[in-house]
Structure 1
Amino acid sequence: MLNIDSLQNGIVIDHIKAGTSMMIYDLLDLGELDCCVAIIKNARSEKFGKKDIIKIDGDIDIDLEILGFIDSSITVNIIRRGVIAEKKELELPKKLKNVIQCKNPRCITSIEEEVDHIFLLGGDKKYRCAYCEQEFHPGPSR
Protein backbone atom coordinates (compact mmCIF):
# COMPACT_ATOMS: atom_id res chain seq x y z
CA MET A 1 0.00 0.00 0.00
CA LEU A 2 1.21 3.47 -0.86
CA ASN A 3 2.02 5.58 2.19
CA ILE A 4 1.45 9.34 2.06
CA ASP A 5 2.18 11.01 5.39
CA SER A 6 -0.67 12.77 7.12
CA LEU A 7 -0.56 16.55 7.24
CA GLN A 8 -0.01 18.63 10.34
CA ASN A 9 -1.08 21.84 8.61
CA GLY A 10 -2.43 22.16 5.11
CA ILE A 11 -5.27 21.45 2.72
CA VAL A 12 -6.73 18.17 1.48
CA ILE A 13 -8.81 18.34 -1.69
CA ASP A 14 -10.71 15.05 -1.77
CA HIS A 15 -13.33 13.28 -3.87
CA ILE A 16 -11.91 14.62 -7.11
CA LYS A 17 -13.24 12.77 -10.16
CA ALA A 18 -10.59 10.19 -11.10
CA GLY A 19 -8.16 11.53 -13.67
CA THR A 20 -8.89 15.24 -13.20
CA SER A 21 -6.41 16.13 -10.45
CA MET A 22 -3.79 17.45 -12.89
CA MET A 23 -6.32 19.90 -14.36
CA ILE A 24 -7.01 21.17 -10.83
CA TYR A 25 -3.25 21.30 -10.14
CA ASP A 26 -2.84 23.57 -13.18
CA LEU A 27 -5.91 25.76 -12.53
CA LEU A 28 -4.85 26.41 -8.93
CA ASP A 29 -1.22 27.08 -9.99
CA LEU A 30 -0.02 24.55 -7.42
CA GLY A 31 3.26 24.18 -9.31
CA GLU A 32 4.11 27.73 -8.22
CA LEU A 33 3.92 26.86 -4.51
CA ASP A 34 7.08 26.42 -2.48
CA CYS A 35 5.69 23.53 -0.43
CA CYS A 36 5.03 19.82 -0.76
CA VAL A 37 2.05 18.93 -2.96
CA ALA A 38 1.00 15.28 -3.25
CA ILE A 39 -1.33 14.05 -6.00
CA ILE A 40 -2.93 10.67 -5.46
CA LYS A 41 -4.58 9.36 -8.61
CA ASN A 42 -7.12 6.55 -8.84
CA ALA A 43 -7.41 5.95 -5.10
CA ARG A 44 -10.10 3.50 -4.05
CA SER A 45 -13.39 5.12 -3.13
CA GLU A 46 -16.54 3.46 -1.81
CA LYS A 47 -18.65 6.32 -3.14
CA PHE A 48 -17.09 6.74 -6.62
CA GLY A 49 -15.10 3.55 -7.22
CA LYS A 50 -12.00 5.63 -7.95
CA LYS A 51 -11.05 9.16 -7.01
CA ASP A 52 -8.11 11.56 -6.98
CA ILE A 53 -6.82 13.43 -3.92
CA ILE A 54 -4.52 16.45 -3.64
CA LYS A 55 -2.67 17.16 -0.38
CA ILE A 56 -0.98 20.50 0.11
CA ASP A 57 1.44 20.71 3.04
CA GLY A 58 1.76 23.99 4.87
CA ASP A 59 -0.27 26.93 6.07
CA ILE A 60 -0.96 28.60 2.74
CA ASP A 61 -3.71 30.75 1.32
CA ILE A 62 -4.96 29.76 -2.12
CA ASP A 63 -8.19 30.57 -3.92
CA LEU A 64 -10.22 27.36 -3.98
CA GLU A 65 -13.36 29.00 -5.41
CA ILE A 66 -12.82 27.45 -8.87
CA LEU A 67 -13.42 23.97 -7.40
CA GLY A 68 -17.16 24.66 -7.12
CA PHE A 69 -17.29 25.17 -10.89
CA ILE A 70 -15.26 22.04 -11.65
CA ASP A 71 -17.23 19.59 -9.50
CA SER A 72 -19.58 20.20 -6.58
CA SER A 73 -18.80 16.77 -5.07
CA ILE A 74 -15.20 17.79 -4.29
CA THR A 75 -14.54 18.23 -0.58
CA VAL A 76 -11.96 20.59 0.90
CA ASN A 77 -10.58 19.99 4.38
CA ILE A 78 -8.33 22.48 6.18
CA ILE A 79 -5.90 20.65 8.46
CA ARG A 80 -4.44 22.28 11.58
CA ARG A 81 -2.31 20.47 14.14
CA GLY A 82 -3.04 17.14 12.45
CA VAL A 83 -6.84 17.29 12.57
CA ILE A 84 -9.58 18.61 10.31
CA ALA A 85 -10.19 22.15 11.56
CA GLU A 86 -12.58 23.24 8.82
CA LYS A 87 -14.59 21.76 5.97
CA LYS A 88 -15.21 24.20 3.15
CA GLU A 89 -18.54 24.24 1.37
CA LEU A 90 -18.15 24.67 -2.37
CA GLU A 91 -20.30 27.12 -4.30
CA LEU A 92 -20.33 28.31 -7.87
CA PRO A 93 -17.89 31.20 -8.18
CA LYS A 94 -19.39 34.54 -9.21
CA LYS A 95 -16.54 35.14 -11.69
CA LEU A 96 -14.36 32.83 -13.76
CA LYS A 97 -11.16 34.22 -15.25
CA ASN A 98 -9.30 32.22 -17.92
CA VAL A 99 -11.00 28.95 -16.97
CA ILE A 100 -13.41 28.63 -19.87
CA GLN A 101 -13.38 30.30 -23.26
CA CYS A 102 -16.03 32.20 -25.17
CA LYS A 103 -17.14 30.37 -28.30
CA ASN A 104 -18.56 33.46 -29.99
CA PRO A 105 -16.31 34.10 -33.03
CA ARG A 106 -17.14 37.84 -32.89
CA CYS A 107 -16.20 38.23 -29.21
CA ILE A 108 -13.14 40.36 -28.46
CA THR A 109 -11.58 37.33 -26.76
CA SER A 110 -11.60 35.55 -30.13
CA ILE A 111 -9.93 38.50 -31.86
CA GLU A 112 -7.46 39.83 -29.27
CA GLU A 113 -5.09 37.21 -27.84
CA GLU A 114 -4.13 39.10 -24.67
CA VAL A 115 -7.70 39.66 -23.43
CA ASP A 116 -8.68 37.59 -20.38
CA HIS A 117 -11.61 35.23 -20.78
CA ILE A 118 -14.02 36.41 -18.08
CA PHE A 119 -17.38 34.82 -17.36
CA LEU A 120 -19.90 36.03 -14.79
CA LEU A 121 -22.49 33.92 -12.99
CA GLY A 122 -26.03 35.12 -13.58
CA GLY A 123 -29.09 34.80 -11.35
CA ASP A 124 -30.13 31.82 -13.45
CA LYS A 125 -26.89 30.00 -12.37
CA LYS A 126 -25.48 30.19 -15.91
CA TYR A 127 -22.17 31.72 -16.92
CA ARG A 128 -22.05 34.44 -19.57
CA CYS A 129 -19.08 36.14 -21.22
CA ALA A 130 -18.39 39.52 -19.60
CA TYR A 131 -17.77 41.09 -23.02
CA CYS A 132 -20.44 39.70 -25.38
CA GLU A 133 -22.83 37.93 -22.94
CA GLN A 134 -22.54 34.63 -24.82
CA GLU A 135 -23.86 31.88 -22.53
CA PHE A 136 -21.38 29.12 -21.69
CA HIS A 137 -22.52 25.62 -22.62
CA PRO A 138 -20.32 22.80 -21.35
CA GLY A 139 -19.23 20.47 -24.06
CA PRO A 140 -16.42 18.18 -25.07
CA SER A 141 -13.95 21.05 -25.55
CA ARG A 142 -13.25 23.70 -22.92
Structure 2
Amino acid sequence: MKIDSIKNGIVLDHITAGKSLEVYKALGLDKLDCSVAIIKNVKSNKMGKKDILKIDEEFALDFDVLGYLDPNITVCIIKDGKLVEKKKLQLPQKIINVEKCKNPRCITSVEQGLDHVFYLANKDKRIYRCLYCETKVEKK
Protein backbone atom coordinates (compact mmCIF):
# COMPACT_ATOMS: atom_id res chain seq x y z
CA MET A 1 0.00 0.00 0.00
CA LYS A 2 1.32 3.43 -0.91
CA ILE A 3 0.31 6.60 0.91
CA ASP A 4 1.87 9.69 -0.65
CA SER A 5 3.87 12.05 1.51
CA ILE A 6 2.39 15.42 2.42
CA LYS A 7 3.77 18.71 1.09
CA ASN A 8 1.82 21.05 3.39
CA GLY A 9 -0.54 19.68 5.99
CA ILE A 10 -0.98 17.86 9.25
CA VAL A 11 -0.25 14.33 10.42
CA LEU A 12 -2.06 13.07 13.51
CA ASP A 13 0.08 10.23 14.83
CA HIS A 14 -0.21 7.86 17.81
CA ILE A 15 -4.00 7.75 17.71
CA THR A 16 -5.24 4.82 19.79
CA ALA A 17 -5.99 1.93 17.42
CA GLY A 18 -9.60 2.08 16.22
CA LYS A 19 -10.20 5.74 17.16
CA SER A 20 -9.25 7.40 13.86
CA LEU A 21 -12.84 7.59 12.56
CA GLU A 22 -14.00 9.22 15.81
CA VAL A 23 -11.25 11.84 15.41
CA TYR A 24 -12.13 12.24 11.71
CA LYS A 25 -15.78 12.99 12.53
CA ALA A 26 -15.07 15.21 15.55
CA LEU A 27 -12.73 17.44 13.52
CA GLY A 28 -15.15 17.63 10.58
CA LEU A 29 -12.53 16.35 8.14
CA ASP A 30 -15.29 15.22 5.77
CA LYS A 31 -15.96 18.91 5.06
CA LEU A 32 -12.40 19.55 3.83
CA ASP A 33 -11.74 19.61 0.10
CA CYS A 34 -8.38 17.84 0.25
CA SER A 35 -6.88 14.38 0.55
CA VAL A 36 -7.26 12.73 3.95
CA ALA A 37 -5.67 9.33 4.57
CA ILE A 38 -6.93 7.18 7.42
CA ILE A 39 -4.38 4.51 8.24
CA LYS A 40 -5.62 1.98 10.79
CA ASN A 41 -3.85 -0.64 12.89
CA VAL A 42 -0.30 0.33 11.99
CA LYS A 43 2.39 -1.54 13.90
CA SER A 44 3.94 0.57 16.64
CA ASN A 45 6.82 -0.23 18.95
CA LYS A 46 5.44 2.09 21.62
CA MET A 47 1.72 1.25 21.39
CA GLY A 48 1.53 -2.16 19.71
CA LYS A 49 -0.98 -0.82 17.17
CA LYS A 50 -1.97 2.72 16.32
CA ASP A 51 -3.95 4.76 13.80
CA ILE A 52 -2.66 7.71 11.75
CA LEU A 53 -4.50 10.51 9.95
CA LYS A 54 -2.75 12.42 7.15
CA ILE A 55 -4.42 15.65 6.08
CA ASP A 56 -3.03 17.26 2.93
CA GLU A 57 -4.02 20.79 3.92
CA GLU A 58 -3.34 23.17 6.77
CA PHE A 59 -6.37 24.14 8.84
CA ALA A 60 -7.20 25.30 12.35
CA LEU A 61 -7.14 22.34 14.73
CA ASP A 62 -9.02 22.34 18.01
CA PHE A 63 -6.36 20.94 20.35
CA ASP A 64 -8.88 20.68 23.22
CA VAL A 65 -11.11 18.38 21.17
CA LEU A 66 -8.13 16.27 20.14
CA GLY A 67 -6.75 16.11 23.67
CA TYR A 68 -10.16 15.10 25.00
CA LEU A 69 -10.65 12.36 22.40
CA ASP A 70 -7.14 10.94 22.79
CA PRO A 71 -4.41 12.68 24.79
CA ASN A 72 -1.77 10.35 23.24
CA ILE A 73 -2.06 11.97 19.80
CA THR A 74 1.01 13.67 18.38
CA VAL A 75 0.30 16.54 15.96
CA CYS A 76 2.94 16.97 13.24
CA ILE A 77 2.85 20.12 11.09
CA ILE A 78 4.37 19.62 7.62
CA LYS A 79 5.53 22.50 5.41
CA ASP A 80 7.30 22.07 2.08
CA GLY A 81 7.53 18.33 2.74
CA LYS A 82 9.40 18.77 6.04
CA LEU A 83 8.34 18.39 9.66
CA VAL A 84 8.40 21.91 11.14
CA GLU A 85 6.52 21.40 14.40
CA LYS A 86 5.57 18.48 16.62
CA LYS A 87 3.08 18.85 19.47
CA LYS A 88 2.17 16.35 22.16
CA LEU A 89 -1.35 16.68 23.50
CA GLN A 90 -2.74 16.38 26.99
CA LEU A 91 -6.16 16.35 28.56
CA PRO A 92 -7.68 19.85 28.44
CA GLN A 93 -8.73 21.44 31.75
CA LYS A 94 -12.02 22.55 30.17
CA ILE A 95 -14.02 21.51 27.11
CA ILE A 96 -16.76 23.60 25.53
CA ASN A 97 -19.46 22.12 23.27
CA VAL A 98 -17.55 18.87 22.78
CA GLU A 99 -19.99 16.81 24.89
CA LYS A 100 -23.60 17.54 25.78
CA CYS A 101 -24.84 17.27 29.36
CA LYS A 102 -27.09 14.22 29.75
CA ASN A 103 -28.91 15.58 32.82
CA PRO A 104 -32.44 16.59 31.71
CA ARG A 105 -32.65 19.04 34.65
CA CYS A 106 -29.40 20.82 33.72
CA ILE A 107 -29.80 24.45 32.66
CA THR A 108 -28.18 23.55 29.30
CA SER A 109 -31.26 21.40 28.52
CA VAL A 110 -33.58 24.38 29.10
CA GLU A 111 -31.57 27.38 27.88
CA GLN A 112 -31.04 27.16 24.13
CA GLY A 113 -27.70 28.53 22.98
CA LEU A 114 -25.98 28.02 26.33
CA ASP A 115 -22.54 26.44 25.94
CA HIS A 116 -22.04 22.93 27.31
CA VAL A 117 -18.98 23.43 29.54
CA PHE A 118 -17.20 20.58 31.32
CA TYR A 119 -14.14 20.78 33.57
CA LEU A 120 -11.56 18.07 34.24
CA ALA A 121 -12.45 16.61 37.66
CA ASN A 122 -10.15 13.56 37.70
CA LYS A 123 -7.19 13.42 35.32
CA ASP A 124 -6.24 9.78 36.03
CA LYS A 125 -9.74 8.45 35.34
CA ARG A 126 -10.44 11.02 32.58
CA ILE A 127 -13.60 12.24 34.31
CA TYR A 128 -15.17 15.55 33.35
CA ARG A 129 -18.06 17.24 35.16
CA CYS A 130 -20.66 19.69 33.89
CA LEU A 131 -19.89 23.20 35.09
CA TYR A 132 -23.57 23.85 35.85
CA CYS A 133 -24.91 20.63 37.42
CA GLU A 134 -21.81 18.46 38.14
CA THR A 135 -23.04 15.57 35.95
CA LYS A 136 -20.13 13.21 35.24
CA VAL A 137 -18.79 12.31 31.80
CA GLU A 138 -16.07 9.67 31.46
CA LYS A 139 -13.98 9.46 28.30
CA LYS A 140 -12.50 6.01 27.76
Q: Do the structures match in fold with TM over 0.5? A: yes
- The aligned counterpart of 1:130 is 131
Q: 3-state SS of the aligned residue for 2:53?
A: strand
- The aligned counterpart of 1:54 is 53
User: Relative to structure 2, which stretch is displaced further, 112-121 or 51-60?
Assistant: 112-121
Deviation of 1:48 (Å): 1.7
Deviations 1:112-142 (A, max 9, x none): 67654322346x756332332x1534167xx
Q: 3-state SS of the aligned residue for 2:4?
A: coil
Contact 1:17 1:52 in 2 (8 A): yes
Q: What amino acid is the match of 1:105?
A: P
Q: Counterparts of 1:30 and 1:85 in 2: how far apart (Å)?
A: 22
Deviation of 1:20 (Å): 0.7
- The aligned counterpart of 1:117 is 116
Summarize the Cα distance change of 1:69–1:139 in structure 2 as closer, same or farther, 3 Å threshold: closer
Which structure 2 residues correspond to residues 22-101 of structure 1 after superposition, within 5 A? 22-101=21-100
Compute the RMSD of aligned alpha carbons.
2.4
Using structure 2 for the length normalisation, give the TM-score: 0.81
Structure with more strand by fraction: 2
Identity over the aligned pairs, expressed in percent? 54
Q: Any stretches of 5+ residues in structure 2 without a counterpart?
A: none
- Paired residues in the alignment total 137
Using structure 1 for the length normalisation, give the TM-score: 0.80
